Structure 1
């Protein structure tokens, strides 16, 4: 024993404290770009491909973001999830390449280029289509380059030097090739149908390009059509009343529809008043100004009586005429006096809608002649219900799907009265350019403008003057379609368009239709979450034929010829091959009139054929990416079908669906084996992000402030399958999570300083129980993480990793074993076992963390192994099956529970300052709470207390023992504070001897 003196020796230099250059402060915004630059310099992505060559493949096919503007937080979430998939599959040893791509054609880019023109006071009509497309191409390329750097900054690994772009000539040629496959298999046709049309963008829209907004101020009107002919004699001279929320469609009405099984009845409208003489004349004049059909007979469905009456009442209650009382409906009992209505169907004569067959009415504007002079038939429509309106529906085949189909079945064709800008034709009889209002202004208006449809607008005014307007208001609340790009209202408009049929029986699909084939694949494909199957199944099951044509300039042409005389589509494989070859060489500019003869070849006169001028819907572009990316020789590392498509849940109606239909129509199968969807990112209050609300979160700024690894940790910590949140407080919480993980790695690096695996490692079978228990926990974690990877459950993956680091390691294992690390003999079994376990933990944890914290994991790995290859070249650390020991775990789980109880019992003494730390506590624990095989000394080490004895219940008191001057434990063997315990005395003596 060292000789005592009054001056106690300072033993701090004999304690084996962790030492590392790995900083506690991350400095991610400054550090990450340098790491990214090194990866590029080293060609890391290519080296990963080389290291996995010949392995089992896992192909995630990238859904193309749109090349327009900086990335937003949705982009960040989406690409971090994709990167997590690719990196975890790579970690498992698979060959998981990632080829990013961009959607480059379409209206938003055209708009942006047109905006630039307008700023220069130019019109796109002043330049050639070729020049205009060149500017669109340059604009798209600019944003491809910008977004590429922003995504790389997020740590997304991929073939950034060779992404796929829908505007590359090779891609454009392959998209045309896919179009020609539909033509050659008889799935493509041109037809005039009402489609969603944007008057602002002047093009047809696909369902996926339409979003619905709630409106509270839409117009609703009741319009009377005088019945001129009917097998029910009493109806002649009465008025069939229709209700509509689109007054602008009345000018193109061509029929009325009734429900065959609906009960209809005649009513008389009566205005009650108590007036005489001049007052009565004044009242009549006032009444006629808003309600011209006093005492008219009307035909409506019985179930709609009360609501119709309420609309009449609201219409008339604005009359400020003394003596006016109310308006009422009277059931019209045939050949008898009318009976007051009770608001419910009663014992009054009525008839089924089917009895209305053969009934005709005339248009309210019949006096204009021409189009309006033709009688309007009442037709049976199965779609007519009594949920709203009057039970009679006005039919405009130009502006409604049901209208179009019913009218077509009865020989009534659309008239194409509304032009591409949403205005009536100049020559339209009722609302033509020569029709002036009282101020001399033209009444021709854009049909969806509020003034045009308002109760006081030209349509309602003319109907009122014609004695046909029964009610009109602007307070109807409903959901209305808008363009998701321009946010402007859209209309149904009948125009000639190109469609892919959904229900025709196809030889190349063994007699199945495209719809049937797609529905079969939906049943086969795996959907994560499962609700995605129901969502896309409902959409595909009910969708109309696929509208693929657009009337714009920037896009892949519908490179087709139609015979001018017969209207027949030219289907010739040799012609198609020449078109594809030309576009592959010269891009979409090759599709021009001057080359028609070249494409048609000998034997056909170009004058006999029309070159289709429409372009393809961009959803057809992106839906074809599986064909020109996964099946292309340009990316031999890919293969088809893809293992996974991963996008937001909105893509069930977008890319998932267009890809499914395109692949099923040409290959008879889906282009993917699994579909994974994520929800939308909301602000911290759960509200949708909007620039106007000022609640957006910019991922670029987040990276500037916190670093890319923080936004990655956020993206992989939320339940991304549902809508989720982000905000400053949320990011601060993620930052705290990150710091705890970083400190775990910092501790491991420091504790493993100088560790020589070959010289120091201990076989796990020879380790103390605690180390073997922690290896069991690691094996459990490993299984959880593998399962999470298989399930794409990255929230569970990240949570399990963080919880293990915080709860099992930092708060438990590291805490218990720090005394052994700091003070035990370096050559002793206990310390070597601990450090061997830390080495195993390090090797596993840094790999587990690498797909989540791509930059931090590289920094951690490089700090310990500066001469080794990147962590991202490593594979999943092997965990032997025999490390799993449930019996051992049960013993230690019980001890950990007891440890928690002891810590709770110590805490009051600490608050009261009776003790300063648990090392000063003598603890009594229930004897039956301790598993067999643990000594009191073992328990004191586990609880980090001075001593532990056994009794009936937990009790804590301050120890009277003295504190070792080196390990600070209070032990009976220490004579007085500052002296050494036996263990420390032995270790110091050996150190002194070596020194």
Structure 2
């Protein structure tokens, strides 16, 4: 009857029309029965949707993976569904329940047409695109009421552009990279590259766990902070010299591209549930033989490569990057005093005690290119030298975070290379390229 006439059939049909012909009460034998018209439960119809919908449609499954609704449904749909299912099947009709708050304006007020504070999602999509709206949803802690306003959306838009620009940097530096041909084996990567892969793997594990727990705002904040800090401000910033100035087919440049490509594929898949359209666009730029699927939304979730996990390397580089941040402060002081302009105009002298000096000296000895050691590469300055702490001059920057570390910044000797902008004493030594340093001149010879 319900399938034919809907739930109102209970009220429109007589008792005789509802009951089988000749039906009588099994206890007293009377055939004079009346319908009960008291309300059983206002949520009964939706409460049995697990039976009427999930079990009636072959493309669906029972129990449901997830029931999600507002916090008012604890005494409504969640409860009526639970009671009817437990009563019949002795278990919940869902494997998980997700409860969310309500959308309010930027001042925490309930949205109302009379107040004029309603934000139409279609207007947001038309103006900024669906991914901005999706990113706002993901960035919000839905366990409480969620605020939305033009100002909030503006901040989300800025975060989106930072993420998108990071992807553009990756793609822009992979234009001549052929996966499967130009890849560099892990053992041949530089330490910085291995550290980046370690960090990427940790991020993937963290993000995957947060997705599984429906903690989408944690996914957003974790990814945004990683893109802003570990990527843009550290790895990619340090990488620019290798990508722009090294020989196109050199191991150091191909190593950087190898890591960038793996990050591109991993991050595109990782953000696909949130930035659905941006990820699809990114996917189209990945070579077809690597993609495996036409759409990123058909691709498998990325798996963490345990071989990239290296706690010892992580500790070492955290220490090195902490020193880098102190050098950045010293560089800023020198810049404010007009002693230098760009950081590449600087020569840095590090004064440290025995243990720290040995640590720094070991990295200073690592040559990453002609005229360039690893410390100068990481600090993004023209040269770095290491001395005992007791030799540190007066009136130099003294670190408050790292004991017995002093930093002297002065103009780098030599001239500015027209190609890499580093200051080197080898500039002008190659007659055919008088404006270049030895590293850049040797690169052009190979072209």
Range of TM-score over shorter length: 0.7 to 0.9
Alpha-carbon offset, residue 862 of structure 1: 1.3
1:858 equivalent to 2:280? Answer yes
Match of 1:825 among 247, 254, 266: 247
Q: Secondary structure at the match of 1:889?
A: helix
TM-superposition CA deviations, 1:927-953 (whole Å, max 9, x none): 344635301621111111011112331
**Taking structure 1 as reference, are residues 972 and 615 closer, same or farther at Cα in structure 2, changes over 3 Å only?**
same
Measure the CA separation in 2 of the matches of 1:877 and 1:812: 24
Aligned residues: 408
**Taking structure 1 as reference, are residues 593 and 748 closer, same or farther at Cα in structure 2, changes over 3 Å only?**
closer
Alpha-carbon offset, residue 732 of structure 1: 0.9
**Taking structure 1 as reference, are residues 877 and 978 closer, same or farther at Cα in structure 2, changes over 3 Å only?**
farther
Counting only pairs closer than 5 Å after superposition, residues 356-755 of structure 1 correspond to structure 2 as 582-588=1-7, 597-603=16-22, 608-611=32-35, 617-632=41-56, 634=57, 636-755=58-177
Q: Secondary structure at the match of 1:603?
A: coil
1:849 equivalent to 2:271? Answer yes
**Taking structure 1 as reference, are residues 960 and 741 closer, same or farther at Cα in structure 2, changes over 3 Å only?**
same
Other-structure match for 1:74:
none
Q: Secondary structure at the match of 2:385?
A: strand
The answer (yes or no) to whether the contact 1:964–1:978 under 8 Å persists in 2 is: no
Other-structure match for 2:316:
891
Other-structure match for 2:445:
989
Other-structure match for 1:942:
378
The answer (yes or no) to whether the contact 2:22–2:31 under 8 Å persists in 1 is: no
The answer (yes or no) to whether the contact 2:346–2:411 under 8 Å persists in 1 is: yes
Q: Secondary structure at the match of 1:642?
A: coil
Other-structure match for 1:966:
419
Counting only pairs closer than 5 Å after superposition, residues 202-281 of structure 1 correspond to structure 2 as none
Q: Secondary structure at the match of 1:858?
A: helix
Measure the CA separation in 1 of the matches of 2:174 and 2:96: 42
Other-structure match for 1:364:
none
Q: Secondary structure at the match of 1:805?
A: helix
Q: Which has the higher helix share?
A: 2
Q: Secondary structure at the match of 1:672?
A: coil
Other-structure match for 2:392:
none
Q: Secondary structure at the match of 1:924?
A: strand
Counting only pairs closer than 5 Å after superposition, residues 911-950 of structure 1 correspond to structure 2 as 911-928=336-353, 929=356, 931=359, 933-935=362-364, 937-950=373-386
Other-structure match for 1:233:
none
**Taking structure 1 as reference, are residues 583 and 725 closer, same or farther at Cα in structure 2, changes over 3 Å only?**
closer
Other-structure match for 1:335:
none
Q: Secondary structure at the match of 2:96?
A: strand
Higher Cα radius of gyration: 1
- What is the root-mean-square deviation of aligned Cα atoms in Å? 2.5
Measure the CA separation in 2 of the matches of 1:962 and 1:678: 61
Measure the CA separation in 1 of the matches of 2:81 and 2:22: 37
Q: Which has the higher strand share?
A: 1
Alpha-carbon offset, residue 616 of structure 1: 6.4
Larger RCO, structure (CA 8 Å, separation 6 or more): 1
TM-superposition CA deviations, 1:851-910 (whole Å, max 9, x none): 110111111111334795101011122222121001001111111111111111111333
The answer (yes or no) to whether the contact 2:348–2:410 under 8 Å persists in 1 is: yes
Q: Secondary structure at the match of 2:142?
A: coil
The answer (yes or no) to whether the contact 2:15–2:34 under 8 Å persists in 1 is: no
Q: Secondary structure at the match of 1:948?
A: strand
**Taking structure 1 as reference, are residues 588 and 920 closer, same or farther at Cα in structure 2, changes over 3 Å only?**
same
**Taking structure 1 as reference, are residues 913 and 637 closer, same or farther at Cα in structure 2, changes over 3 Å only?**
farther
The answer (yes or no) to whether the contact 1:966–1:978 under 8 Å persists in 2 is: no
Other-structure match for 2:303:
878
Measure the CA separation in 2 of the matches of 1:647 and 1:589: 26
Other-structure match for 2:410:
957
TM-superposition CA deviations, 1:55-77 (whole Å, max 9, x none): xxxxxxxxxxxxxxxxxxxxxxx
Q: Secondary structure at the match of 1:954?
A: strand
The answer (yes or no) to whether the contact 2:134–2:274 under 8 Å persists in 1 is: yes
Measure the CA separation in 2 of the matches of 1:594 and 1:780: 63
**Taking structure 1 as reference, are residues 600 and 620 closer, same or farther at Cα in structure 2, changes over 3 Å only?**
closer
Alpha-carbon offset, residue 712 of structure 1: 1.3
Measure the CA separation in 2 of the matches of 1:658 and 1:598: 28
The answer (yes or no) to whether the contact 1:762–1:832 under 8 Å persists in 2 is: yes
Measure the CA separation in 2 of the matches of 1:615 and 1:704: 44
**Taking structure 1 as reference, are residues 583 and 913 closer, same or farther at Cα in structure 2, changes over 3 Å only?**
same
The answer (yes or no) to whether the contact 1:824–1:830 under 8 Å persists in 2 is: yes
TM-superposition CA deviations, 1:954-993 (whole Å, max 9, x none): 11112232111211111121138962122211221222xx
Measure the CA separation in 2 of the matches of 1:593 and 1:940: 85
The answer (yes or no) to whether the contact 1:677–1:721 under 8 Å persists in 2 is: yes
Alpha-carbon offset, residue 604 of structure 1: 5.4
**Taking structure 1 as reference, are residues 941 and 658 closer, same or farther at Cα in structure 2, changes over 3 Å only?**
same
Measure the CA separation in 1 of the matches of 2:17 and 2:116: 55
**Taking structure 1 as reference, are residues 678 and 940 closer, same or farther at Cα in structure 2, changes over 3 Å only?**
same
1:796 equivalent to 2:231? Answer no
Q: Secondary structure at the match of 1:742?
A: helix
Normalised TM-score (structure 1): 0.39
The answer (yes or no) to whether the contact 1:593–1:611 under 8 Å persists in 2 is: no
Measure the CA separation in 2 of the matches of 1:978 and 1:621: 84
Match of 1:757 among 165, 179, 185: 179
TM-superposition CA deviations, 1:440-483 (whole Å, max 9, x none): xxxxxxxxxxxxxxxxxxxxxxxxxxxxxxxxxxxxxxxxxxxx
Q: Secondary structure at the match of 1:673?
A: coil
